Amino acid sequence: MIALGIESTAHTFGVGIVSKKNVLVNLRDSYTTEKGGIIPTEAAEHHKKIAMDLVREAIEIFEKESKGKKIDLVVYSRGPGIGPCLHVGKNTAREVGKNLGVPVIGINHCVAHLSVGSLVTPVKDPVLLYASGANTQIIAYEGKKYRVFGETLDQGIGNFIDSFARHMGLGFPGGPKIEVLAKKGRKYIELPYSVKGMDISLSGMLTNLKNKFDSKEFSEKDLAYSLQETAFAMLVEVAERAMAHCGKKELLIGGGVGCNSRLQEMCAIMCKERGAKFYAPPKGLLVDNGAMIAYQGILEHCAGRKESKVEVRPYERTDDILVDWK
């Protein structure tokens, strides 16, 4: 069984081809800016421009490397995400499915971030720290559903970091630039720390950071360093609380902010201290990507899911999905 997956929920357009056991191809092309944030229609335009070329390139690589094998299924992210971007992915999937003469199914993007962990790591039953641009959730499997035990009450951790980076004039995406700056920071500046049970809130810290930056009393490096130390400590605290609550002994990270080496280090320390295991997929599978979409499609298809209405669901939540493939 081989599937081609298409990702287009936000700034990244991705095409991946995977089998049940391996990632065969994983290409991606992202919309970026020098100064401002994501403009939905511009991101969708970017995706439309490159979509079919990226699909062609992925199929060429696949055909060269796995002679004679065929693609059996086309999968796309139906949501959650930015409406205009989702439509490009859905329309591309429909066209590719027609060209290849194979079924097309839409799947939930957040669930795909979770599932891909078991394709590339030995993880079995983890708590997932899903830290991406728009989404920040603590998720675990219980009774046929991925339950959201905690989440951000205002904005996603990636959007929060990107907003501050934009305020500093760093452009989008800001996460990797903040990480570089933070490594040079030495002095910890106290920032508002907001954890409520298993939920977090970031907007107070964002305002505080912007004010501190505007006051010119603090160095950019120290602000970036303190942002990471404070916000990531909040994420690790809620992840640990969820692990204790669910009695789970594994933590899996997902989402683009999961690429951050300091966040990974903090997760690893917490897990070591409580005798648990920490797993991080490689970066190409942490950020939004087509391979995880393809893999989720294989899981659902093998559990009996047939071709359904080709549609988008911009607001679909992780805990709306019946997990019948495990």
Residue 5: which of 305, 282, 288 has the closest Cα?
Answer: 288
Nearer to ligand AMP among residue 97 and residue 133 (C-beta): 133
| Subset of residues 225 to 264 that bind ligand AMP, contact rule: CB under 6 A | 255-257, 259-260
Dihedrals phi, psi of 147, to nearest 5 degrees: -90, 140
Nearer to Mg ion among residue 17 and residue 85 (C-beta): 85
Report the distance separating Cα 151 and Cα 40, nearest Å.
24
> According to the binding rule CB under 5 A, does residue 7 interact with Mg ion?
no
Site track 155-174 with ligand AMP (rule: CB under 6 A), x = hit: ---x--xx----------xx
Q: Classify each residue of 51-82 as buried b or exposed e, where b means 16 or more C-beta atoms within 10 Å of its C-beta.
A: beebbeebbebbeeebeeeebbbbbbbbbbbb
**Size of site (CB under 6 A) for ligand AMP:** 19
List, as one string, the DSSP characters of 233-257. HHHHHHHHHHHHHHT--EEEEESGG
Query: Which residues are CB-neighbours of 91 under 8 A, at least 6 positions away?
Result: none
* Residue carrying structure tokens 């990797």: 176
Site track 116-155 with ligand AMP (rule: CB under 6 A), x = hit: ----------------xx----------------------
Nearer to Mg ion among residue 29 and residue 288 (C-beta): 288
> According to the binding rule CB under 6 A, does residue 282 interact with ligand AMP?
no
The minimum distance between CB 173 and ligand AMP, in angstroms, equals 3
**Of the candidate residues 29, 222, 250, 288, the single one contacting ligand AMP (CB under 6 A):** 288
Is residue 250 within 8 A of residue 128, CB to CB? The reply is no
Nearer to ligand AMP among residue 73 and residue 239 (C-beta): 239
In angstroms, how far is the first alpha carbon of the chain from the final one? 17
How is residue 169 annotated by DSSP? T
**Of the candidate residues 2, 3, 4, 10, the single one contacting ligand AMP (CB under 6 A):** 10
Report the distance separating Cα 137 and Cα 144, nearest Å.
18
> According to the binding rule CB under 5 A, does residue 132 interact with Mg ion?
yes
Nearer to ligand AMP among residue 97 and residue 175 (C-beta): 175
Report the distance separating Cα 113 and Cα 57, nearest Å.
24
Interacting residues with ligand AMP (CB under 6 A):
10, 12, 132-133, 158, 161-162, 173-176, 179, 255-257, 259-260, 287-288
Interacting residues with Mg ion (CB under 5 A):
132, 288
